[in-house]
Amino acid sequence: MSQTDLSPTLSHLDENGQVRMVDVGAKASTDRTAVAEGRVRLNAHAWGLLSAQANAKGEVLNTARIAGILAAKRCAELIPLCHSLPLSFVGVDFSADDASRTLTIRATSRTHHQTGVEMEAMMACSVAALTVYDMCKAADKGIIIEQVRLLSKTGGKSGDWRND
């Protein structure tokens, strides 16, 4: 049975179940993009402070944006088997829903390389959410970070994928 006939496997485990870094040396470099999204839910008091930019630690969303970008750039230092990638772009955007007091974070990462940027987009989204928590926790220790997930990826051998 050929490898293409098998079900998907855990690529970071060898045939003996031992941890390994995936060898991407023979893979072609292609344009790759990944988009991740997550949500941060706050109580009414913290939401009011965030919405009014009245947080004592400074402008929350710009700080979270920069933290997310920095996190994507340092992803390989924190996730043991990630490859260091030359990122051509990292963007972190926010949208607010006053009715549910929810901040949606969307992170996009791009590269032209031999492996994808899904982890970088997820890392950017996660650290941006954690930064919002850090900057708003004095007003709400019960902040909920939820639904951090990959929305889409393009490029590479496996092609395009969307989380429908």
Residues catalogued as catalytic: 134
CA distance 73 to 86: 8
Residue 97 tokens read as: 């829903």
Strand, helix or coil for residue 18: coil
Q: Could you give the CA distance from residue 34 to residue 50 in angstroms, rounded to a whole number? A: 28
CA 116 to chain CA centroid, nearest Å: 12
Look at residues 132, 93, 129, 131 and name the one whose alpha carbon lies nearest to residue 109. Answer: 93
Helix (H, G, I), strand (E, B) or coil at 129: helix
DSSP 13: B
User: With contact defined as beta carbons under 8 Å apart, do 39 and 145 qualify?
Assistant: yes
